[in-house]
Amino acid sequence: MGGDINKTGVARAYALWAPVYDFVFGKVFQPGRDAAIAAASAICPVGGRLLEVGVGTGLSLPDYARHVRVFGVDLSEPMLRKAHERVVQERLDNVDGLAVMDAASMALPDRSFDVVVAQFVITAVPHPEATLDEFARVIKPGGEIILVNHIGAERGLRRLFELAFAPLARKLGWRPEFPFARLANWAAKHGGVRLVERRPLAPLGHFAMIRFARLDAESRAA
């Protein structure tokens, strides 16, 4: 599982996307970013720490509440360079840092963030389950993982289209047919997280916001 997209392919794809990314994906992904940012800003305590994984060109960075301390990581150095320019231009002094890292093995301490946000990322990483394990590792008990993504249709014409489009989409850097069951199975197997919300987003429910809370040891035992 996951060998279909690899790190070299991701780096190559996003080096090509970086110069035009904001133009192509800025507006179309904005409602999803808005939903994730609102949820994250609401639950993050004052001075709390938020990790944005796959931060890309940093389109979401100016929109987080300024009481939130943000750290961003991405595999693609050209995407991250754009994010860095944005931080400087917009004087985002609540952004503590940006670093090139693989989401599946991050050089970050256990239980060090209040919220992990990944927008349009989990279907684009080489190893989604290992990446989710990393999210759960770095989050504090009681904290949340907030994902925004296109989730594959379970049946019908849209599923057929997504399956047909999948080989080309992988070359562009994502999996259009990625099923929700893959997230649910990960959560069940992990055992240390609980699904808090799965909300289809306007327009048309094409994208969804999915939130998992990190359980503490007591709630795991209960």
Ligand X SMILES: C[S@@+](CC[C@H](N)C(=O)[O-])C[C@H]1O[C@@H](n2cnc3c(N)ncnc32)[C@H](O)[C@@H]1O
Q: Which residues bind ligand X (CB under 6 A)?
A: 10, 14, 25, 29, 33, 54-56, 59-60, 73-76, 79, 102-104, 119-121, 124-126
Which has the closest alpha carbon to 39: 64, 73, 69? 64
Q: Kindly tell me which of 100 and 160 has the beta carbon lying closer to ligand X.
A: 100
At 165, phi and psi to the nearest 5? Answer: -80, -20
Which has the closest alpha carbon to 24: 167, 153, 120? 120
* Residue 89 C-beta: closest distance to ligand X, Å: 17
Q: What is the DSSP letter of 105?
A: B
Q: Kindly tell me which of 33 and 86 has the beta carbon lying closer to ligand X.
A: 33
* Residue 184 C-beta: closest distance to ligand X, Å: 21
* Residue 134 C-beta: closest distance to ligand X, Å: 9
* Residue 38 C-beta: closest distance to ligand X, Å: 14
Within 8 A by CB and 6+ apart from 79, the residues are 14, 17, 18, 21, 55, 56, 57
Q: Kindly tell me which of 73 and 169 has the beta carbon lying closer to ligand X.
A: 73
Q: Using CA atoms, how far apart are residues 83 and 63, in angstroms rounded to an integer? A: 13
Q: Kindly tell me which of 64 and 215 has the beta carbon lying closer to ligand X.
A: 64
